[in-house]
Amino acid sequence: MSTVSLAMWAASHIESQEWGPADDGDRTRQERRVFLGTVFALDPCGRYHHMLSPNGYTQKCGRFWESLERQLEKRGMWLEAGEGDPCDQYAGQSRDLDDEAGS
């Protein structure tokens, strides 16, 4: 799946997620997330790229992750790894409560 398609999928599916408190404890914001998949399923090389890994970080994989981040940002989201398992990848979105008072 292309990064554009993945970001479009995330944008349409994040709408069904409930808003919750911001992870950083900021009471003026809410956040929500949608699971994109694991690094192993999403990465063009099919592996987790640790900075000390002897497998290295290929340009192809680097371009994929940079493009995915850009595509998500264009849609008001960000990419983040799972808290319990860093191989799990999520698209996140936040809103200021002041801006959403009428919603």
Residue 102 lies in a domain: no
Number of domains in the chain: 1
Cβ atoms of 36 and 6 closer than 8 Å: yes
Nearest to 79 by CA among 27, 51, 29, 42: 42
Rounded average pLDDT per 10-residue block, the chain, 103 residues = 95 96 92 95 82 69 93 97 92 87 49
Q: What pLDDT score does 72 carry?
A: 98
Phi and psi, residue 9, nearest 5°: -60, -45
pLDDT for the residue numbered 92: 97
Q: Considering the domain boundaries, does residue 65 fall inside one?
A: yes
Strand partners, 38: 88
Amino acid letter, 9: W
Q: Give the domain extent around 11.
A: 3-21+29-96
User: What pTM was estimated for this model as a whole?
Assistant: 0.84
pLDDT (0 to 100) of residue 45 = 83
In a domain, 101, yes or no: no
Which structure tokens are listed for 65? Answer: 């992750």
- Return the pLDDT at 58: 77
Structure tokens of 34? 């949608």
**43 within a domain of the structure (yes/no):** yes
Cβ-contact 81, 87 below 8 angstroms: yes
The answer to whether residue 81 is domain-embedded is: yes
The answer to whether residue 76 sits within a structural domain is yes
Structural domain includes residue 87: yes
Classify residue 103: in a domain, yes or no.
no
